[in-house]
Amino acid sequence: DARVTQTPRHKVTEMGQEVTMRCQPILGHNTVFWYRQTMMQGLELLAYFRNRAPLDDSGMPKDRFSAEMPDATLATLKIQPSEPRDSAVYFCASGLVGQGAHDSGNTIYFGEGSWLTVV
Amino acid sequence: AQSVTQLDSQVPVFEEAPVELRCNYSSSVSVYLFWYVQYPNQGLQLLLKYLSGSTLVKGINGFEAEFNKSQTSFHLRKPSVHISDTAEYFCAVSDPAYNFNKFYFGSGTKLNVKP
């Protein structure tokens, strides 16, 4: 059963430390998304990639956040330095999306999330 | 850009009663529509989706949704809920302006099923 895999599942870190979250998308999916979920803001789109190329990272604080896809099996989201306000659940999602995708695609599938607490 | 409105932040309902969770989106152009469910401490799972064809879409766990283009709505329904349906439900729209790449989510509706 194909699924999006995220690590770590839980992370507690001190303010100022670097945090790296990793995501293995479903094999064959062409688009990868990073979302952040908080009680106050709900689900926010941070960035997304199509065929490993960044398409939009306008939702991401540029000074401390960075997202990359070094290869088709790995997406990373890095926070440096981390701050308490970054505490949230970070979700990775992947999908086969776009006009050329078969109708059974055009759907995104979420990982279980990385629960980050910055103290 | 699209916007998705879920008017009800919380919906309490008794077990075995019917429920409707409302979702409206902003654009009248062709879009793809989705409902996801999030159980406590878990990720979002796809419940159902509308891409084209019949406006009544059936999903998992007995849920269904109806696409209404004129009202730009995609309400989720279940004729008889169970305690296990207690979760948060998210409506989402995928935007053709971005080649359907960009997904917009509503703020979520927490369904609380009481015995």
Residue that the structure tokens 């439900």 belong to: B89
pLDDT tier, A105 (very low <50, low <70, confident <90, very high otherwise): low
Which residues in chain A are closer than 8 Å to B89, comparing Cβ atoms?
Answer: none
- pLDDT (tens digit per residue) in A65-100: 999 999 999 999 999 999 999 999 999 999 987 665
Whether residue B6 lies within 8 A of chain A, CB to CB, comes out as no
A12-28: b (≥16 Cβ within 10 Å) or e: ebeeeeebebebbbbee
CB contact under 8 A, B99 and A31: no
Handedness of CA B6, A110, B59, B92 (dihedral sign): positive
- Locate the chain B residue with the closest alpha carbon to A102: B51
Q: How would residue A106 be classed by pLDDT, with cut points 50, 70 and 90? A: confident
**Which chain A residues contact residue B90 at CB under 8 A?**
43
Question: Kindly report the CA angle at A15 between A14 and A19, in degrees rounded to 5?
Answer: 75
Contact A48 B32 (CB under 8 A): no
* DSSP annotation of A26: P
| Averaged confidence pLDDT in chain B | 92
pLDDT score of A102 more than 70: no
Residue B101 to residue A26: CA distance in whole angstroms: 16
Q: Kindly state the average pLDDT of the residues B43-49.
A: 93
Q: Indicate yes or no: CB of A43 within 8 angstroms of CB of B102.
A: no
Mean pLDDT over the full length of chain A: 91
Candidate from A24-33, B74-83, B100-109 with smallest mean pLDDT: B100-109
* pLDDT value at B59 more than 60: yes
> Tokens 């998210």 label which residue?
B90
CB contact under 8 Å between B43 and A108, yes or no, is no
What pLDDT band is residue B28 in, cutting at 50, 70 and 90?
A: low
- Summarize pLDDT for B7-26 with one digit per residue, the tens: 999 999 999 999 999 999 98
A72 shares contact with chain B (CB less than 8 Å): no
